[in-house]
Amino acid sequence: TGGKESDKKVLTMGTSADFAPFESRNPAGEIEGFDIDLANYIAEELGYKLEVEDMKFDGLIGALQTDRVDMVLAGMSATEKRDKNVDFSTPYNHSGEMFITLKDSDITTLEAIKGKTVGV
């Protein structure tokens, strides 16, 4: 119907802006990061204007359950406990932290550590 930008319905994202590069505040105090970009994309696709609500990480699921926000993007991983209370999307990021060793090391898995203990 060609409404003005300001007429757009609002989609509210809850986040905890203390988790760069996913969400943090820049020196000007604005919230930015990967999750903000993704949320803007989601809102745009759905025809909404995005509003971001910054709060404590531990309050995010409660805020969703009490309708204070419409969705949460906060670098949050699915856990069994959280999954009982909310629906998680398919993952949009996989992080694979690894330990590193010298090139050509034969210890590149946790299993390989077993039996390699230096005697005391």
Is residue 81 within 8 A of residue 42, CB to CB? The reply is no
CA distance 120 to 116: 12
Instruction: Between 9 and 56, name the residue whose CB sits nearer to ligand ARG.
Output: 56
53 binds ligand ARG (CB under 6 A): no
Instruction: Between 52 and 76, name the residue whose CB sits nearer to ligand ARG.
Output: 76
Instruction: Between 37 and 107, name the residue whose CB sits nearer to ligand ARG.
Output: 37
77 binds ligand ARG (CB under 6 A): yes
16 binds ligand ARG (CB under 6 A): yes
Q: How far is the CB of 49 from ligand ARG (least distance, A)?
A: 22
Tokens of 12: 């509210």
CA distance 107 to 113: 6
Among 25, 57, 59, 63, binds ligand ARG (CB under 6 A): 57
Q: How far is the CB of 39 from ligand ARG (least distance, A)?
A: 13
Tokens of 118: 């230096």
User: Which residue, among 92, 26, 17, has the nearest Cα to 60 in the 3D structure?
Assistant: 17
Among 12, 13, 23, 64, binds ligand ARG (CB under 6 A): 23
Is residue 64 within 8 A of residue 14, CB to CB? The reply is yes
Query: What is residue 5's three-state secondary structure?
Result: helix
- Contacting residues toward ligand ARG, per CB under 6 A: 16, 18-19, 23, 57, 74-77
